[in-house]
């Protein structure tokens, strides 16, 4: 056990890092930046960049070398491992398989161009930026790889905020980003060994490639199926808390990390692959994922990113020309590559370019990659700083640009609202209250919102139950304080449900409309569009007779007579 | 960052510890032992006791000194901090205040006697067991303290398993155990400073006592109120995930730990006090507690206890006479003290002695205490081993003995079943399905079971809805695979609910009865007792007219005509 003083210092350092990182992370989110920007800023503030200048002794006191540093390093290592596991969990191989053609084209172009331009940039940068100019080939390959990865979690978040995650466009972007991530990390894993100055002879490299291929094949090919069985046994007991699965996930992630670390690739790669294998199992309950997500993003990740900020003096190592060059090359290469790829698959230029900007986000993944390269002695601090700034910049850029590009997609918005929300072709409900519950649960599924809480919030407003319009339509609606965006669920009850309608007719078409408090002003216009969409006998017949989800969505799209004025793409 | 090889070894060691600890912990639970016994056994197996004998090099390879040891120490330190925070969270000061008289008497006697006998034992033990015979006073005080603490979480678990947690008896035990815990840790914190061989002059000791008193007063007195406000702001937003509260809890626990560590008391004490302050706030949602509990008990705690097992050679340091002496003195002192105390408050001898055996559990808390003492150089490994064995033995003893002692409380068992389950004086339900949902949610509240899942499991059985008996009574019942024990919820619907009863009468008295698959044989006897309890007009009138929960419970107790044959106390 380390000495008493070391323990106290470790605890103080950890508490400080987490507290400041979480505070700045929340602030960052409130300013509509990604949380990682604030978390990183916490480290920049507590480290040599700010505090170290103002009060030089303080940084050495708070984060001394020796035992406290080792304990903190253990913690940040675990954080990186868990972060990558979480990133792996979010990869849904079935989405990739379903969209394989479009996604392959988009991601191929989106990797090739950044790889080429990044390699070029690495090749022409002055010697002063290189640790060892004699290893320029390796360096240039790294810059190419660094520019070609995407940041799946950031992209998913941007799409979710904009209400595109479950649309065709969103699925294409996600599938392409997943391929990018897999390819990028595979490439990177090949570079890490030689980075350590180990002999990069062909035999050596071949052996390492073989080991990686074997690891990936065993984990994804065999391990995935075994895991699916194990999880099916563990998660079948629906009464039990997710404890066993949590332990299993943690053990496997750490083991995967240890194995790749031993092969000579970085630990995070193994954790990522294990995450992919586990996350792919449909047996993994949403609840379990949520618990992991909560812990990683609130306890581990902020400390990791703050620790990144601690590592270098961001002012001293900030080289404006280098930063500008990296950002310009990164953005042009990725946006152009992905846009071209997406255009080839048949999207309009406008949609294709929104795909390009979405995939341009680098976020946390780039930061982890840059850190590993810095630690491996492959890059110097100015390149590290440039990559970190580029990662943040591209992540910030995606949202606003996509908003602007997609603002014109107005005419499909009722359809999109339902597509993004929930469509239930046959409700089981026998009462209005039950129908509201059913729709609320469907809306909440797949979001962090609790279905019960949502239903209760709607039902607290008594007028929600008395929601019957005429002609068998019911339109319960409610304002909900902390909803991320307007949400719509549509459901049909062929048997008819008594909703106390003015014409006494039982309702067979249900729309549940939820509006965030902050956007209450939009409620009426959406309400009107819904009413118009079921105004005629013909429209209602189409909706009632549609045979599946797709047909219902088409009917909603066709039935829509007015456009929703800037419904979702303007904040 | 530590060297690559160190990282890999740290990861392998951590994964191995967690995996083996969780496996043996599950096995232990299946054998009806506490999980901690298995987790500890994992360390005993992986450490010098077993693996070190069989294959001497393996332990040094898996758990080498240097950087990997420091990283692992950081992890186990955090685990201990979080374990104590969780223990603090479970302390409900309001229960202590409500039962203050009985609890104070019971716990005072339950601390005084072990303290006195433990001190005596420490005073007479041969010099060979002492690190430094010249500090025998301190050693004897420590043995007294070690024998007087209780293990709240183990006690709560035992009471829950037996179905007594929410009964009068259970609340008394919990309140007394909480006082014990607080007192024990306060006493211990006073001993830790002098343990480190620091001058134990009166001025020094006085200063430390003052610092502890100040810390406790500020955190519990002031901090508790501030925290309640902060939590009320953070948890009010019911849509949000518990992320912010998790971060806050973690930061404060670590800060509290750092402060007490700096004062010269052990870090775990500060974490414990912070846990008490936060856990006391009614604003802390069950959901947030559950997430913390999941993570601590599945990711952190097993590694901690396994690491305890790693520390010493349990065979070499096992001294049968010492272990026997510690166990005998510990059990006699605690059981006698608590029984006497509880008897004075008015319980029968049988009930009082069941309180005594409940409070005799030492469990995890004793192990943490022993570890701190070992690390501080106050005790030698034979004493450490004796305390650990005593902790496990007393925890194992409590359940079976209480079962036997309380087996005779048969005649109140329908009342107890309802008391332990849920009583809803006025249901809001308008349909049988809604009533079942409402009752299922009430049953699930405060347990790890999800109310929705429970309701769905009941409703899957269609006969559950057609649950009407005659005379306005409905008795839906279901067998549930993984229920810990039979559960009963009682609810009244003054307005009457149509349940498709044979006599067509709407139901006003609802009993929801859930039976574990494994105990299906008991279902009928409980069913019969319930039917008998509402057989007469008079019984039903009493139930319908009872004005509150207590009156309903009395009516259920009175109405019961048959005893439930060995309903809950026999496995």
- For residue A336, the tally of other CB atoms under 10 A from its CB is 18
Q: At A152, is the pLDDT very low, low, confident or very high (cuts 50, 70, 90)?
A: confident
Q: At A464, is the pLDDT very low, low, confident or very high (cuts 50, 70, 90)?
A: low
Asked if residue A483 belongs to a domain, the reply is: yes
Whether B359 and B498 map to the same domain: the answer is no
- For residue A181, the tally of other CB atoms under 10 A from its CB is 24
B-chain residues near A74 (CB < 8 A): 10, 70-72, 74-75
Cα(A478)–Cα(A466) distance, rounded to whole angstroms? Answer: 12
Number of Cα atoms under 13 Å in the Cβ half of residue B234: 23
Residue of B nearest to A297 (CA): B243
Whether A373 and A511 map to the same domain: the answer is no
Give the domain CATH number at A451: 3.40.930.10
Residue where a domain stops, chosen among B373, B406, B439 = B406
- For residue A363, the tally of other CB atoms under 10 A from its CB is 25
Domain membership of residue A545 as a residue range: 412-559
- Judge whether residue B113 has pLDDT over 90: yes
Cα(A476)–Cα(B553) distance, rounded to whole angstroms? Answer: 40
- For residue B112, the tally of other CB atoms under 10 A from its CB is 16
Whether B358 and B471 map to the same domain: the answer is no
Q: Which residue, among A66, A70, A459, would best test binding to B if mutated, counting the most B CBs under 10 Å from its CB? A: A70
Q: What local confidence, expressed as pLDDT, does residue B560 receive?
A: 45
Whether B286 and B357 map to the same domain: the answer is yes
Cα(A458)–Cα(B366) distance, rounded to whole angstroms? Answer: 49
**Which residues are paired to B473 by β-bridges?**
B509
Cα(B221)–Cα(A453) distance, rounded to whole angstroms? Answer: 33
Query: A163 in helix, strand or coil?
Result: coil
ipTM of the complex: 0.71
Q: Which residue, among A2, A39, A262, A298, would best test binding to B if mutated, counting the most B CBs under 10 Å from its CB? A: A298
Instruction: Please say whether the beta carbons of A260 and A219 come within 8 A.
Output: no
Whether B524 and B425 map to the same domain: the answer is yes
Give the domain CATH number at A233: 1.20.1530.20
Per the CB < 8 Å rule, is A481 touching B71? Answer: no
Asked if residue B42 belongs to a domain, the reply is: no
Whether A234 and A297 map to the same domain: the answer is yes
Picking from A15-19, A127-131, B289-293, B314-318, which range would have the lowest pLDDT averaged per residue? B289-293
Instruction: Please say whether the beta carbons of B467 and B475 come within 8 A.
Output: yes
Asked if residue A62 belongs to a domain, the reply is: no
**Among candidates B75, B84, B78, B80, which has minimal Cα distance to B277?**
B84
Whether B394 and B423 map to the same domain: the answer is no
Asked if residue B116 belongs to a domain, the reply is: yes
Asked if residue B26 belongs to a domain, the reply is: no
Per the CB < 8 Å rule, is B22 touching A244? Answer: yes
Q: Does B240 touch chain A (CB under 8 A)?
A: yes
Please tell me the total number of residues recorded for chain B in this structure.
571
- Judge whether residue A404 has pLDDT over 80: no
- For residue B362, the tally of other CB atoms under 10 A from its CB is 30
**Rg of chain B's alpha carbons, rounded to an integer?**
26
Asked if residue B463 belongs to a domain, the reply is: yes
A vs B, Cβ pairs < 8 A, gives 189
Cα(B359)–Cα(B363) distance, rounded to whole angstroms? Answer: 11
Whether B434 and B306 map to the same domain: the answer is no
A-chain residues near B247 (CB < 8 A): 18-19, 22, 298-299, 302
- What mean pLDDT do residues B406-412 have? 48
A 477-506 residues with CB below 8 A of B?
Answer: 480-483
Query: For the residues of A253-267, what is the DSSP string, one character each?
Result: HHHHHHHHHHHTS-H
**Among candidates A332, A321, A449, which has minimal Cα distance to A389?**
A321
Whether B543 and B504 map to the same domain: the answer is yes
Asked if residue A152 belongs to a domain, the reply is: yes
Whether B350 and B444 map to the same domain: the answer is no
Instruction: Please say whether the beta carbons of B475 and B436 come within 8 A.
Output: no
Q: Bigger pLDDT: A571 or B317?
A: B317
Count of structural domains, chain A: 2
**Among candidates A21, A111, A369, which has minimal Cα distance to B251?**
A21
Reported as a single tens digit per residue, the pLDDT across A524-547 is 667 767 777 787 777 888 888 888
Cα(A18)–Cα(A200) distance, rounded to whole angstroms? Answer: 39
B-chain residues near A430 (CB < 8 A): 431
Reported as a single tens digit per residue, the pLDDT across A307-318 is 989 989 999 999
Instruction: Please say whether the beta carbons of B271 and B87 come within 8 A.
Output: no
Instruction: Please say whether the beta carbons of A313 and A48 come within 8 A.
Output: yes
- Judge whether residue B171 has pLDDT over 90: no
Query: A181 in helix, strand or coil?
Result: helix
Reported as a single tens digit per residue, the pLDDT across B410-449 is 434 677 777 777 888 888 888 888 888 888 888 887 666 7
**Among candidates A257, A400, A310, A251, which has minimal Cα distance to A73?**
A310
As a whole number of angstroms, the longest Cα–Cα distance in chain A is: 84
Instruction: Please say whether the beta carbons of A360 and A338 come within 8 A.
Output: yes
Asked if residue A571 belongs to a domain, the reply is: no
Per the CB < 8 Å rule, is B247 touching A291? Answer: no
Most confident of A259-273, A470-484, B17-31, B555-569: B17-31
- Judge whether residue B471 has pLDDT over 50: yes
What is the DSSP pairing of strand A507-516 with strand B477-480? unpaired
Per the CB < 8 Å rule, is B78 touching A75? Answer: yes
B-chain residues near A482 (CB < 8 A): 237, 239-240
Residue where a domain stops, chosen among B359, B387, B406 = B406
* Residue A526 CB partners (closer than 8 Å, separation 6+): A414, A417, A486, A488, A513, A515, A564, A567
Q: What local confidence, expressed as pLDDT, does residue A334 receive?
A: 93
Instruction: Please say whether the beta carbons of B188 and B268 come within 8 A.
Output: no
Residue where a domain stops, chosen among A406, A424, A458 = A406
Nearest CB to A294 within list B1, B246, B452: B246
Torsion of CA B272, B274, B277, B283, to 10 degrees: -110
Query: For the residues of B427-466, what is the DSSP string, one character each?
Result: ---SBHHHHHHHHHHHHHTTSSS-HHHHHHHHHHSGGGTS
Whether B467 and B383 map to the same domain: the answer is no
Where do runs of H (alpha helix) occur along A47-167? Answer: 51-54, 56-62, 67-89, 93-98, 100-124, 136-148, 152-162
Q: Does B83 touch chain A (CB under 8 A)?
A: no
Reported as a single tens digit per residue, the pLDDT across B485-514 is 788 899 999 888 888 777 778 889 999 888
Cα(B569)–Cα(B548) distance, rounded to whole angstroms? Answer: 28
Q: How far apart are the first and last CA of chain A?
A: 53
**Rg of chain A's alpha carbons, rounded to an integer?**
26
- What mean pLDDT do residues A35-52 have? 90
Nearest CB to A73 within list B2, B255, B262: B2
- Judge whether residue A41 has pLDDT over 50: yes
Q: Does A95 touch chain B (CB under 8 A)?
A: no
Whether B401 and B447 map to the same domain: the answer is no
Model pTM score: 0.73
């Amino acid at each position: 056990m380390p000495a008493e003083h070391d323990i106290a210092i470790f605890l103080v350092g950890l508490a400080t890092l987490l507290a400041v990182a979480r505070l700045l992370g929340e602030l960052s989110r409130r300013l509509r930046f990604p949380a990682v920007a604030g978390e990183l800023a916490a480290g920049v503030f507590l480290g040599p960049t700010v505090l170290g200048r103002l009060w030089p002794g303080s940084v050495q006191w708070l984060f001394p070398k020796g035992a406290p540093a080792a304990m903190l390093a253990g913690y940040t290592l675990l954080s990186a491992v868990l972060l990558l596991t979480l990133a792996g969990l979010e990869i849904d191989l079935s989405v990739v398989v379903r969209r394989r053609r479009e996604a392959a084209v988009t991601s191929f172009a989106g990797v090739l161009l950044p790889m080429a331009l990044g390699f070029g940039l690495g090749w022409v940068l002055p010697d002063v930026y290189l640790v060892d100019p004699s290893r320029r080939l390796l360096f240039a390959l790294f810059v190419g790889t660094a520019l070609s990865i995407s940041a799946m979690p950031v992209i998913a978040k941007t799409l979710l905020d904009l209400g595109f995650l479950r649309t065709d466009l969103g699925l294409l972007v996600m599938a392409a980003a997943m391929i990018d991530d897999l390819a990028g990390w595979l490439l990177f894993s090949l570079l890490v060994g030689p980075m350590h100055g180990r002999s990069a002879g062909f035999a050596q490299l071949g052996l390492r490639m073989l080991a990686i291929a074997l690891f990936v094949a065993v984990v994804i090919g065999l391990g995935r199926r075994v895991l699916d069985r194990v999880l099916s046994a563990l998660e079948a007991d629906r009464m039990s808390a997710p404890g066993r699965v949590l332990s299993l996930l943690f053990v496997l992630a750490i083991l995967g990390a240890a194995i790749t670390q031993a092969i000579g690739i970085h630990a995070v790669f193994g954790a990522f692959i294990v995450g992919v294998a586990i996350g792919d199992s449909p047996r993994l309950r949403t609840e379990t994922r949520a618990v992991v997500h909560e812990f990683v993003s609130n306890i581990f990740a902020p400390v990791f990113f703050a620790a990144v900020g601690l590592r270098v003096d961001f002012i001293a190592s900030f080289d404006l020309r280098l930063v500008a060059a990296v950002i310009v090359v990164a953005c042009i290469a990725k946006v152009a590559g992905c846009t071209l790829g997406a255009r080839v698959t048949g999207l309009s230029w406008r949609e294709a370019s929104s795909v390009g900007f979405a995939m341009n986000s680098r976020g946390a993944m780039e930061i982890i990659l840059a850190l590993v390269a810095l630690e491996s002695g492959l890059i110097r601090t100015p390149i590290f700083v440039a990559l970190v700034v580029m990662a943040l910049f591209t992540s910030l850029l995606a949202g606003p640009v996509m908003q602007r590009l997609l603002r014109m997609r107005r005419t499909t918005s009722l359809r999109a609202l339902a597509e993004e929300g929930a469509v239930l072709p046959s409700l089981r409900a026998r009462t209005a209250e039950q129908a509201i519950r059913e729709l609320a649960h469907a809306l909440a599924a797949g979001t962090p919102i609790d279905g019960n809480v949502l239903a209760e919030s709607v039902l607290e407003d008594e007028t929600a139950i008395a929601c019957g319009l005429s002609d068998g339509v019911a339109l319960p609606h409610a304002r909900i304080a902390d909803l991320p965006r307007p949400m719509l669920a549509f459901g049909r009850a062929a048997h008819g449900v008594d909703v106390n309608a003015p014409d006494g007719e039982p309702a067979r078409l249900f729309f549940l409309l939820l509006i965030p408090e902050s956007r209450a002003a939009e409620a009426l216009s959406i309400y009107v569009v819904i009413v118009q969409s079921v105004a005629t006998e013909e429209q209602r017949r189409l909706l009632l007779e549609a045979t599946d989800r797709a047909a219902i969505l088409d009917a909603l799209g066709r039935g829509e007579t007015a456009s929703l004025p800037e419904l979702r793409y303007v904040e």
